[in-house]
Amino acid sequence: MLRSVRALLLAATALTGFAALPSVAEETPPAAAVAVNDAIWNLGDLYATPEDWTKDYERLKGDMGSAGACKDTLLKDAGTMLVCLETISRIQKETLKLYVYAFLKSDENLGIAENIERKTQAQTLLVQLGAQTSWLNPAILAAGKAKIDEFRTAEPKLNDVFGFMLDNILRAEAHTLSSESEAVLAESADVLSRASTTYDILADAELPFPTIKLSTGEDVRIDQASYAKYRQAANRDDRKAVFNAFWGKWKEYEGTLGANLAAHVAGHIFNAKTRHYKNALEAALFPDNMPETVYRTLVSQVNENLPSLHRYFKLRKRMLGITDDMGYYDIYPALVQLDKKFSVEDSKTTTLAALAPLGDEYLDILKQGFAGHWAHVYPQHGKASGAYMMGAAYDVHPYLLLNHNDDYDSMSTWAHEWGHAVHTVLTSRNQPFEKSDYSTFTAETASIMNEMLLEDYMVKNAASKEEKLYYLGMALESIRGTFFRQTMFAEFELKIHEEAEAGNPLSGKRMSEMYCDLLKRYHGDAEGVVKIDPTYCIEWAYIPHFYRNFYVYQYATSITGAALLAQRIETGDPKERDTFLNLLKAGGSDYPYELYKKAGIDMASPEPYKALITRMNAIMDEMETLLAQP
């Protein structure tokens, strides 16, 4: 559907999936990677050369005026409206393709200025497009529903391709401003994104991370990448030293980071007030037509089921052999050490086997992607870290950035990101560009489904009791990190917005106090389950997702929906598989809450959340049974 500039930029830059923090990968790829052709993506499917990209950029820069030329003729008749909407849609689609190439080329090596400049050019073009089309929604609203319906009857393609978009615009009448005001808001998008840019620069480039000496005698600089690595250390003193050093450094910048996040929150509130929403949450949920009860039901259900999370922490304490108080730094090490490597070829073959319940149509797309040079697989110097799927180039195919390290986590990430890729392909095959922009709410269901099917497959095929315990532990950790932790983030995000909307000052110190209350409640500090050192309450400042807009709750709802869908699919009933595939094929043709309801799941009710807790407790039951065996 035709989108605002803000939505376009999110579509272009969203790192779909649970990516690591965006820093620079310093590792070198395994020796075998050098000779493997499919370890590098083929950007030639987008543009054969950078020079071809530049030619298209100049062409599209000239086309921007065409997007605004319909302002005075849009409502002449049904045929003219169709031509105008098709013109704008074409320019949007082609500009996104332009951006995808620039974005991916930049992430190959973040140290090449020419690539960063190309990305900035494309982003600026998207902002210009938003300004050129800012009149569109007010014009349609001014015409009124009766006239638009008349046009849709006269020209069926208006209804078939643009009907959902038109309904959505008319739904937003109370929140759409005059053409002049919409133009100002479109131009403000770049300004209101600056707090996120400031965070990225400080967190990824300028924060002077400390160096510590580990028990091995090794000196390690505790930056974001090494924190993620060494917080899993088997040596408990090392883990504590890593936490103290890392969070101690963030604490030194509490005031600056607090002011920066407060500015970002102020931007959300500004947009909500300007568009006449009752609060920032309503404004954030409105584009998806998401009932507020979904957000609040998620938070209430998680809080109701904190005893299951605390049960997991007690099991973790037992398996790690901790005899005194369990600390926050004891959350991350694996419950069982698995000395087993998973190459990229292993990731391919195992993922195909694990996802067999999804059927041949699904597996054929995976095989096509594996053979088609869609992914940049290994870490290398200068490459962006983490993992994501970029699917905004509608007429080409999705691309995946990975940093495969030949471990189980890499294989799980592989399955996750390819879930996004298959979702994108199924959507583009079944929906026009105008209905292809699916919500994160359904996107994460597609990827987490793959993680769960992989977990269940690995448990079923484990070669030993210890290996089975490892995979069960990883499944528990996925639920902790995706369901409980992301909901804790969602609750914090709601609280800081409500605090600011109430007119209360939102300093870094105040944010740390609010986050500390949540951290202690979720981890059972008062009950003696996990003791929280106040130094670690600066963690909020480290989370980049708070610079999105009420984004993180969708991870938690997605793992919930995926668990219920996976449970049904694993019964072997083809109808259940087809229900899931139809959810993916629907893309952005309907609101995500409604798509879930068509799949037989009401995310505003407690039932799906209870089903996930049942899965979690069943995993712990199985682990305790295994632990009781000699």
Long-range CB contacts (within 8 A, 24+) of 63-68? 63/91, 63/94, 64/91, 64/125, 64/128, 64/129, 64/132, 65/132, 66/91, 67/91, 67/129, 67/132, 67/133, 68/132, 68/133, 68/135
Give dist(CA 27, CA 61) in Å, integer: 38
Domain match, 322 and 411 both: no
Give dist(CA 296, CA 604) in Å, integer: 8
Domain match, 536 and 415 both: no
Phi, psi (deg, nearest 5) at residue 375? -125, 145
- In this structure, what DSSP letter does residue 544 have? G
Domain match, 440 and 560 both: yes
Domain match, 511 and 616 both: no
Q: Which residues contact 436 (CB under 8 A, 6 or more apart)?
A: 394, 427, 428, 587, 588
Catalytic residue among 155, 182, 254, 417: 417
Domain match, 51 and 167 both: yes
Give dist(CA 419, CA 439) in Å, integer: 14
| Residue 518 forms part of a structural domain | yes
Relative orientation angle of helices 553-569 and 292-304, to the nearest 10 degrees: 80
| Residue 83 forms part of a structural domain | yes
Domain match, 46 and 73 both: yes
What's the pTM value of the predicted model, to 2 decimals?
Answer: 0.88
Count of all residues that appear for the chain in the document? 630
Q: Quick one: which of 50, 90, 88 has its CA closest to 394?
A: 90
Give dist(CA 289, CA 278) in Å, integer: 15
Domain match, 164 and 68 both: yes
Q: Letter for the amino acid at 190?
A: D
Domain match, 487 and 588 both: no
| Residue 464 forms part of a structural domain | no
Q: How many helices (H) and strands (E) does the chain have?
A: 26, 7
**DSSP line for 95-127:** HHHHHHHHHHHHHH-TT-HHHHHHHHHHHHHHH
Helix, strand, coil share of the chain (percent; to 5): 70, 5, 25
Give dist(CA 419, CA 369) in Å, integer: 11
Q: Quick one: which of 475, 479, 464 has its CA closest to 555?
A: 479
pLDDT number for residue 191: 81
- List the domain range (segments joined by +) for residue 161: 42-176
Q: Which residues of 181-190 are buried (b: 16+ CB within 10 A; e: fewer)?
A: ebbebbebbb
pLDDT number for residue 345: 95
| Residue 32 forms part of a structural domain | no
Q: Give the residue carrying structure tokens 């890593």.
A: 242
Which of 176, 202, 234 finishes a domain? 176
Which of 129, 155, 176 finishes a domain? 176
- The tally of domains found in the chain comes to 3
pLDDT number for residue 38: 59
Instruction: Please give the distance of CA 598 from its chain centroid, rounded to a whole number.
Output: 23
| Residue 193 forms part of a structural domain | no
* Measured CA angle at 232 (ends 231, 234), to 5 deg: 115
| Residue 21 forms part of a structural domain | no
Identify the three-state secondary structure at position 376.
strand
| Residue 401 forms part of a structural domain | yes
C-alpha gyration radius of the chain: 24
Domain match, 536 and 557 both: no
Catalytic site residue 27? no
Which of 547, 570, 587 finishes a domain? 547
| DSSP strand pairing (399-401 vs 375-376) | parallel
pLDDT number for residue 35: 38
Domain match, 53 and 172 both: yes
- CATH number, domain with residue 246: 1.10.1370.20
* Mean pLDDT, each 10-residue run in order, the chain (630 residues): 42 36 42 52 96 97 91 95 96 97 93 91 93 92 94 95 95 89 83 86 88 96 90 95 97 96 95 95 96 97 98 97 96 92 96 97 97 93 89 97 93 97 98 95 94 96 96 96 97 98 96 98 97 97 92 94 93 95 97 96 96 96 95
Q: Quick one: which of 452, 483, 545 has its CA closest to 19?
A: 545
Q: Which residues contact 149 (CB under 8 A, 6 or more apart)?
A: none
pLDDT number for residue 21: 31
pLDDT number for residue 32: 41
- In this structure, what DSSP letter does residue 363 have? H
* Measured CA angle at 334 (ends 329, 337), to 5 deg: 135
| Residue 543 forms part of a structural domain | yes
Are 552 and 489 contacting, i.e. CB atoms less than 8 angstroms apart? yes
